[in-house]
Amino acid sequence: MSADTQTSTEYIKHHLQNLTWGQLPEGYTRADGEVLETSTWTLAHSAQEAKDMGFWALNVDTVGVSLVLGALFLFLFSRAAKAASNGVPSGLVNFVEWIIEFIDSSVRGSFTARNALVAPLALTIFVWIFLMNLMDLVPIDWIPLLASSLGLHFFKAVPTTDPNATFGMSISVFLLVVYYSIKMKGLGGFVGELTLQPFGKFGLPANLFLEGVNLIAKPVSLALRLFGNMYAGEMIFILIALMGAAWAGASAGNAVLFGSQVLLSLGWGIFHILIVTLQAFIFMTLTIVYMDMAHQEHH
C-alpha cells in the first residue's frame, strides 16, 4: 500500500505489522465483519487478529524470508567451494575466502579454547544476520506492494525487525553457552559459578542474584540490541517515505523536494550499510566471547 492512500499512522502500522498465521476461536468476529463458525487457522487481517491468535501464532514473513536467505547463503558458499581451485579464483570465490579469513581471524582473536563448532557457528551467524539486515535496504514499499497484489494484507521483509527472530537466535546461542558451561566445568562447576562468585559461600544469595542476572542478560542484550537497531533503521526509512509523500502532495512536480527525498534516502541507506554490517559483527563477536567464557573454568 502506498502512503498516499493511507493516513500516516495507518501507513506506519501497516509497514510494521507481520504477516501472521494462527488460530482464531469459534465465534470470533473478524476485521471485515465475518463471524467464524468454527475454530479456524488463517492469516490475520489486522493487528488485533494477530494479537488474538496468541502465543502459537507464526510470523510467516519472518520465517519465510529467513529460510530463503539461509538457502541463498548455503547456495553461494557451496558454489564457491565447488569452484575453488589452484588457479585464478573467481570474484565469488575471492569474496567467500575473504569472509572466511575474516571470521577465522575473529575466532582466533576471541576464542582461546578448542572447539570445532565455534568457527562455523560464527560464520553462519555473521552471514545470515547480515543478509537479513540487508533486506532493510530494499525500498520500503516494494515488497508490501507485491504482497498486496498477491492478496496478502501485510509483509515485513526484514526478519531482524521482528523480536521473535532475534530472541530465537539469541536463545539458541544461550542454550549452547549453558550446554558447554556444564560440559566443560561439570554441573557442580556451573552451579558453583552461579552461587560462589564473587563473594564466596557466605554471599550465596547475592552471588546467585548477580550471576543469574548476568547469565540471563546475555541472550536479552543480544536480541534487543539487534532488534532495536534494525527496527529504528526501518522506522527512519518509513518516515523518509512519509516525508516524500507529504512533499509530493504539497508541491506536485517540485523537483527540488523530490531530489531532497532521494538524497535523504540515499544518505541514510549508505549509512545504514554500516549499521547492517556492524550489528551482524557485534552479534557474532559476542557469541564467540560468550562461548569462550563457557569454556573457561574459574578457580
Range of the domain at 216: 60-295
The torsion angles phi and psi of 24, rounded to 5 degrees, stand at -105, 140
Would you say residue 39 lies in a domain? no
Would you say residue 1 lies in a domain? no
Q: Which of 94, 105, 214, 221 is catalytic?
A: 221
Domain count, the chain: 1
Would you say residue 258 lies in a domain? yes
Task: Name which of 94-108, 241-255, 270-284, 285-299 the model is least confident about.
Answer: 241-255
- For 184-232, the pLDDT digits (tens) are 988 988 888 888 877 777 778 888 888 889 899 999 999 999 999 999 9
Indicate if the pLDDT at residue 244 is higher than 70: no
- For 46-96, the pLDDT digits (tens) are 999 999 999 899 999 999 999 999 999 999 999 998 887 766 677 888 899
> Residue 242 is inside which H or E element, if any?
helix 204-250
Q: Which of 90, 164, 225, 260 is catalytic?
A: 225
Do residues 45 and 170 touch, judged by C-beta distance below 8 A? no
Beta bridge partners of 42: 22
Whether residue 59 lies in the annotated active site:
no
Would you say residue 4 lies in a domain? no
Residue 88: the pLDDT is 67
Indicate if the pLDDT at residue 123 is higher than 90: yes
Whether residue 260 lies in the annotated active site:
no
Would you say residue 49 lies in a domain? no
Q: Which of 133, 170, 181, 229 is catalytic?
A: 229
Indicate if the pLDDT at residue 165 is higher than 90: yes
Would you say residue 230 lies in a domain? yes
Whether residue 251 lies in the annotated active site:
no
Task: Name which of 75-79, 83-87, 163-167, 172-176 the model is least confident about.
Answer: 83-87
Would you say residue 109 lies in a domain? yes
Would you say residue 183 lies in a domain? yes
pTM metric for this prediction: 0.88
